[in-house]
Amino acid sequence: MDKLLIKQCLFHASWLAWPFIGWLLWRLWKQRRPLQRALTGLLLLGSLVFVWARFVEPQWIQVRETTLPDPGVQARIALISDIHLGVYKSPAYLQRVVDRLNQLEVDAVAIAGDLTYEPQARRESLQVMFAPLSRLRVPVYAVLGNHDQQMPGPDIDLALRAALQAHGVRIIEGQLQPTSLGYRWAGLGDRWAQKDDPDFLRQATTAVPTLLLVHNPDSAMQLRPGDATLVLAGHTHGGQIRIPWLYHKVIPTRHGFDRGEQWLQTPHGRVRVFTTSGLGEIGLPLRLFNPPVIDVLQLQR
């Protein structure tokens, strides 16, 4: 069976959890034997956890504020990633994200890749799917991720770039973008697609604090301390289903990244990385102990 069809069936069949819970409640009310009541209660509890992880937590967008002292930059940045519009997420969800972002006092929005996930599952064009981004009131910077570049996923690189740029999003892979606030933006392409060469960072003649936007935090392993003041990344989903001691096994990085701030020891020195746990889902349409998040970073000199 086609993988996309399996995901669609899984996504829609999950609604059967509601009548199943109703049936379990009826069984619990009817049961008289203690052991059977206990087993039914455990099954009911598991079903309620599933309903939370499928229907509640993935829609519960959180804003998480973090102060990062001494990056050499004075700014307030909203970092988002892994929106994954497509088979599980709709443009209406992106509209909700944009509404939350517009309520924040930030200087810029950074999107750290993986904007799509099986976008062919939707009837809308990419242009229509990402139209809510045009309503953002501050500059928006972005790089693409592995699901945007057939690693895995449909190869929609050019079409996605065109759609984002049409809505005012600045794609900054391989570029240095100055700001009026005394720092600059730079971006690396996806690591799995082998588009994250940092050499261009070392060709700049002016030493300016640099915020480096990447998708996969593993891209930071090839950096030197002077390449970037701070690396902003996504990709990990924070494990997505964050069951203690188990979620680390599914995070797709080689260097122990999770979420939040980390000082990474590279072959060239220490590099500062902040990884967001993202907004969307892949694989299973579930989030547990790990709601979708907008990370607001207060950078203080």
Residue that wins the pLDDT comparison between 206 and 46: 46
- How much is the average pLDDT of 139-145? 98
Cα(1)–Cα(153) distance, integer angstroms: 17
Q: Three-state SS string across 51-70, please?
A: HHHHHHHHHCCEEEEEEEEC
Q: What percent of the chain has pLDDT over 90?
A: 89
- On the question of pLDDT at 132 being above 60, the answer is yes
Q: What is the pTM of this model?
A: 0.96
pLDDT range class, residue 203, cuts 50, 70, 90? confident
**pLDDT, tens digit, for every residue of 4-13?**
999 999 999 9
pLDDT range class, residue 2, cuts 50, 70, 90? confident
- On the question of pLDDT at 204 being above 80, the answer is no
How high is the pLDDT of residue 1? 55
- On the question of pLDDT at 153 being above 90, the answer is no
Cα(235)–Cα(173) distance, integer angstroms: 16
Cα(299)–Cα(62) distance, integer angstroms: 20
**pLDDT, tens digit, for every residue of 47-73?**
999 999 999 999 999 999 999 998 789
**pLDDT, tens digit, for every residue of 96-109?**
999 999 999 999 99
Q: Extract the tokens encoding 163.
A: 């759609």
C-alpha torsion sign, points 79, 238, 301, 196: negative
Q: Extract the tokens encoding 244.
A: 């203690």
How high is the pLDDT of residue 135? 98
C-alpha torsion sign, points 150, 100, 262, 245: negative
- How much is the average pLDDT of 261-266? 92
What is the dotted CATH code of the domain comprising 62-300?
A: 3.60.21.10
How high is the pLDDT of residue 16? 97
pLDDT range class, residue 270, cuts 50, 70, 90? very high
- On the question of pLDDT at 207 being above 90, the answer is no
Nearest C-alpha neighbor of 142 from the set 114, 165, 172: 172
Domain ranges of the chain: 3-57, 62-300
pLDDT range class, residue 301, cuts 50, 70, 90? confident
- On the question of pLDDT at 46 being above 70, the answer is yes
Cα(294)–Cα(105) distance, integer angstroms: 13
